[in-house]
Structure 1
């Protein structure tokens, strides 16, 4: 079956969803493709900072997302020896130290607005297998498998918003430079004990960062840095001494940890790296978000950078000039900000331990 749209966006994460809505609102026909069978299934960052919040508010989307459920962080605490020794509160003008927004809530809040436009379509369970070119070498569409059926989607512009392992980037043979950061990340989720306040808590286990993020629904997300490439060896060791360190660092979680994290299978591994493409696209293709500049989890910048990419790119795309779109202009508008964020992440990682040097006794 064949379809046609002004723009085909691959990847229904925050950047792809927001761009879909903004383009549809501006009168462009949009087909959004997502390889998962439901929205929000793949793990992605779930913390808005004030920049991401401002993007959503500028397009009257924040209230729709908030109605589905968000949680504002009220404080950031640094812990040592089982006790908080430093607490940071938000600037009154901002009102939070980050907002937890479940991925499904963010996507639903944005896409329910996009679906108001008859020229917007979202295809789930659809995986791109090939890119189509015209005789001049310009990309003009994709071939995909949708629910087991092969389809073609012709478009004047293809957007790769499909994450750190972008299929669009690979098929277009756009080079990417990766940087390892010396650590990987273990994620786990537990129920918060009664009275737990919306907060971010951080500590050191040896020389590695351990962070707790309160989540919507009464959960705590645990992010535990481990030595890069070490998880395969860790899993061969006894689980109990490892997890005991978490209970020692946060004694109020001891019961929750003991009953809810019972094996290595309760952790999800994230292979941590950052990356940046020298080119943000080619003829008929533009990349955004992690597809073009993968970020580490440090500081929760990835989601917010993707939203800003989408906002910027939408301002440049006009229905009457899509085939003449020059991705270099988009790249020039966003590169400096992205490079600054990547540098900030590296600095935060390298200086994290310094927060604990003069800790209160």
Structure 2
């Protein structure tokens, strides 16, 4: 099968889906490729900050996402030995400390809105296996596989919105600098106790950060930092003493923790690192989101930065202007801001323990 579009976007996460919608709205023919069958796959970084909120409101999308469900965080709390000792309230002009938005809700709105334009098309269960290049090495499209069938998609521009392990970045020969942060992350999701309020709660366990993020539909997401590379050894140790530390930090969670976290297999391990590419694209290709600047979970910048990349790129591209010059212009606008956010992440990680010094 052979197809032709102005733009081919690889990866139907929030950044790719938003960009597809914005380009189709500008009468640019765009095809969005997703390797999974279902668009609404589970995602762990689901917090909007004020930047992401502003982008959605800018295009009249925020209210539509809100109708499907979201939850505003009312405060940030710091706990020590089961006791609250510090509370941070939101700026009244913002009204929250982040908004939990299930990725399924966000993507449902973005895809449905994009489908209202004839210039948009979506292909799921579609895996990109290579880039199509001309004799001069310029990228002219992608070669993909859908359920065993080869598909060739010719395009003026390929967008890599396919995450930290981006195949587009790899096939385009764009290098990234990887920075380790000294920790990995254990995720778990548990039902919230009755009357649990929409908060973010923090504790310090063995010098490492433990975070609780309230989610929609009555759940809590646990993010527990552990020493980098320590999980294989950790899981060989008895499970009970480890989980007792969580219960000691937040006694109100004892019943739900004991019911829903009963072995190491109830945690999901995230290999934490950030990366950054000096080159955000080349002739015929551009990268956005985690494909070009992977963030750590700290500060929940990843989702919002990907959406900002999409918004910035869409404001520059037109049907007539998809040259390398426009791509360079876009990356210049975003590079400084992304570098600033990644430095903020490092500062937050390095100074987290200081939040507990006064209490101690």
Same fold (TM over 0.5): yes
Residues of 2 paired with 1:147 and 1:70: CA distance?
34
Task: Tell me by how many angstroms 1:56 deviates.
Answer: 0.6
Map Cα deviations across residues 265-303 of structure 1 (whole Å, 9 max, x no partner).
110111000010010011100000010001000000000
**Pairing 1:86-97 to 2, within 5 Å after superposition:** 86-97=86-97
Task: Tell me by how many angstroms 1:26 deviates.
Answer: 0.4
Coordinate RMSD, CA, aligned: 1.0
Give TM-score, length-normalised by structure 2. 0.98
Map Cα deviations across residues 165-218 of structure 1 (whole Å, 9 max, x no partner).
101000111000000000000000000000000000000001000000000100
Task: Tell me by how many angstroms 1:156 deviates.
Answer: 0.3
| Aligned residue-pair number | 360
Residues of 2 paired with 1:258 and 1:45: CA distance?
25
**Pairing 1:94-133 to 2, within 5 Å after superposition:** 94-133=94-133
Residues of 1 paired with 2:44 and 2:199: CA distance?
19
Paired residue for 2:251? 251
Stretches of structure 1 lacking an aligned partner (at least 5 in a row)? none
Paired residue for 1:343? 343
Paired residue for 2:182? 182
Residues of 1 paired with 2:151 and 2:46: CA distance?
32
Task: Tell me by how many angstroms 1:147 deviates.
Answer: 2.1
Q: What secondary structure, in the 3-state scheme, does the structure 1 residue paired with 2:322 have?
A: helix
Residues of 1 paired with 2:285 and 2:44: CA distance?
23
Residues of 2 paired with 1:93 and 1:144: CA distance?
46
**Pairing 1:137-286 to 2, within 5 Å after superposition:** 137-286=137-286
Asked whether 1:21 is paired with 2:33, we answer no
Q: What secondary structure, in the 3-state scheme, does the structure 2 residue paired with 1:320 have?
A: coil
Residues of 1 paired with 2:76 and 2:170: CA distance?
39
Residues of 1 paired with 2:188 and 2:69: CA distance?
21
Task: Tell me by how many angstroms 1:84 deviates.
Answer: 0.8
Residues of 1 paired with 2:322 and 2:50: CA distance?
31
Map Cα deviations across residues 64-89 of structure 1 (whole Å, 9 max, x no partner).
11111100001100000101100111
Residues of 1 paired with 2:324 and 2:273: CA distance?
34
Q: Contact between 1:317 and 1:325, CA under 8 Å: does it hold in 2?
A: no
Residues of 2 paired with 1:189 and 1:38: CA distance?
21
Residues of 1 paired with 2:331 and 2:126: CA distance?
28
